[in-house]
Amino acid sequence: MKYQAILFDLDGVLCTTDRFHYEAWKQTAQEVRAPFDEQINQRLRGVSRMESLEIILEGSPLTLSGEEKLRLAEEKNDRYRALLSQLTPADMGEGVRDTLKRLRAAGLRLAVGSSSKNAGFILRQLQAEELFDAVCDGTQITHSKPDPEVFLKAAEQVETPPARCLVVEDASAGLEAARAGGMDCAILGDAEMPFAPTYHLDRLEELPGLIL
Ligand code: G6P
Ligand code: MG
C-alpha cells in the first residue's frame, strides 16, 4: 500500500462545525463593525482562533489592544462551545464512521490533525475518540496551518514517515500544510485551492476506493 497512515482534518472533514464557527464569529464581527460573510468565513478554515480574529479585524475601523483581542476571542469561544454542546454522535455520519473503520481494518493508522483547541471536546461529543490511533490538535502546536507542524506531529504520533502519510482536508491552509510537510493530500469538497491536490473527493466515502 502506498500509505501507512491517514491524517484527517476535523472541522469540515469529519464533522460540520462550520455553521457554529460562522454564528459565533458573526457576532464578533458585528461588535467590531467589520463585514462578515461566507467568503470571509472561508478564509478562517484551518487557521487558529487568534489568526481568525485578525482576519476579521482587517475589516474593522477599530484599533484594539492585545487584551481586548483576547477578550473577543474568548467570548467567541464561549459562544462556539455553547453551540458545540448540541453536537451528538449523529453529527458524524454513519458513512464517515464506516469509512474510518474500513481504512483501519485495512491496516492503516488513523490520526486527527486539527488546529482546533476544541478537538478533544468535539470528538467526545461525537463519541469518535476510539476511531483514531492519535489526536494532534491546537493544544499541542505553536504554529497553525499552513505551517505543517500539526501534521508532522500527528505523523510522529502514529510513527509514520511523512512520505507514507495522506492528509485529508477541506481548506487551502490544510493543503498547503500537507505539501510543506511532504505529504500527499486529498481535498474534500469544492472550496477553491491554490494548487491541485493529489486527490479530490466529493464525499469521504470515496477514499477507500482510491487508496486501498
Ligand atoms: C479549525 C477550524 C478553524 C478554527 C480553528 C481553531 O481549524 O477550521 O476555522 O479557527 O480550528 O479552532 P478553535 O476551536 O481552537 O477556536
Ligand atoms: Mg477543515
Residue that finishes a domain, picked among 29, 61, 84:
84
Centre of ligand 2 to C-alpha 209, Å, is 22
Among 162, 208, 201, 205, CA closest to 181? 162
pLDDT score of 71: 98
**Whether 50 and 154 share a structural domain:** no
Q: Are residues 142 and 78 in the same domain?
A: no
Q: What is the CATH number of the domain that holds 136?
A: 3.40.50.1000
CATH number of the domain enclosing 75:
1.10.150.240
Residues 30 and 124 in one domain: no
Which residue has its alpha carbon closest to ligand 1 atom 9?
45
Ligand nearest to the CA of 43: 1
Residues 12 and 31 in one domain: no
- Report yes or no: 4 and 184 within 8 Å, Cβ to Cβ: no
The predicted structure's pLDDT at residue 161 = 98
Residues 96 and 53 in one domain: no
Q: Specify whether 123 is located in the same domain as 202.
A: yes
Q: Closest ligand to 19 CA?
A: 1
Pocket of ligand 1 contains residue 116 by CB under 6 Å = yes
What's residue 96's pLDDT? Answer: 97
The domain boundary residue, chosen from 56, 84, 112 = 84
Q: Check whether residue 68 and residue 172 sit in a common domain.
A: no
Distance in angstroms (rounded) separating the CA atoms of residues 31 and 17: 22
Q: Which one of 66, 84, 102 terminates a domain?
A: 84
Contact 5/110 with Cβ under 8 angstroms?
yes
pLDDT score recorded for residue 172: 96
18 is catalytic: no
Quick one: 113 and 80 in the same domain?
Answer: no
Beta bridge partners of 168: 8, 186
Annotated catalytic, 11?
A: yes
pLDDT in the model for residue 24: 98
Name which residue sits closest to atom 7 of ligand 1, judged by CA: 46
Which pLDDT belongs to residue 5? 98
Q: What is the pLDDT along the chain (212 residues), one digit of tens a residue?
A: 999 999 999 999 999 998 999 999 999 999 999 999 999 999 999 999 999 999 999 999 999 999 999 999 999 999 999 999 999 999 999 999 999 999 999 999 999 999 999 999 999 999 999 999 999 999 999 999 999 999 999 999 999 999 999 999 999 999 999 999 999 999 999 999 999 999 999 999 999 999 99
Lookup: cell for 35: 463585514
Write the secondary structure of the chain as one string of H (helix), E (strand) and C (coil): CCCCEEEECCECCCECCHHHHHHHHHHHHHHCCCCCCHHHHHHCCCCCHHHHHHHHHCCCCCCCCHHHHHHHHHHHHHHHHHHHCCCCHHHCCHHHHHHHHHHHHCCCEEEEECCCCCHHHHHHHCCCHHHCCEEECCCCCCCCCCCCHHHHHHHHHCCCCHHHEEEEECCHHHHHHHHHCCCEEEEECCCCCCCCCCEEECCHHHHHHHHC
Question: Does residue 12 come out as left (phi exceeding 0), alpha (psi in the -120 to 50 range) or beta?
Answer: left
Are 80 and 97 members of one domain?
no
Same domain assignment for residues 74 and 170: no
Atom of ligand 1 nearest to the CA of 138: 15
Give dist(CA 151, CA 7) in Å, integer. Answer: 7
Check whether residue 94 and residue 79 sit in a common domain. Answer: no
Q: In angstroms, rounded to a whole number, what is the distance separating the alpha carbons of residues 51 and 78?
A: 17
* pTM of model > 0.85: yes
- Nearest-Å Rg of the Cα atoms of the chain is 17
Overall number of domains in the chain: 2
The backbone torsions φ and ψ at residue 11, rounded to the nearest 5 degrees and listed phi first, read: -65, 120
Same domain for 142 and 48, yes or no, is no
Residue 29 domain boundaries:
18-84
Residue 193: predicted pLDDT: 96
